[in-house]
Amino acid sequence: MKPTDIYHRWIAWSEEDQCYVGRCPDLFFAGVHGDDPIEVARELQEVIDEWERIHVEDGRPLPSPRTRPMRELV
């Protein structure tokens, strides 16, 4: 398990943007976007990995996760 696996990832279709948008709100406000949800998920993970790398290099701890899904699946 990677330290960033605890963060919620969100990928959904945006009617406004007419593309899929991926976000990880506990780490950064911006997101990634594209026509293929699988590729958006890959790109989002790359950004998360880079975010983690920068924090480690700078000696800064990652922020505590705050975003929780609204409902647990059984």
The pLDDT tens digits along the chain (74 residues) read 888 999 999 999 999 999 999 999 999 888 899 999 999 999 999 999 999 999 999 999 999 988 876 655 54
Residue spans of alpha helices (H) in the chain: 37-58
pTM over 0.95: no
Q: Which domains does the chain have, with CATH numbers?
A: 3-58 (3.30.160)
Which amino acid appears at position 9 of this protein?
R
Cα distances from 54 to residues 2, 40, 58, 72, in angstroms, run 15, 21, 6, 32
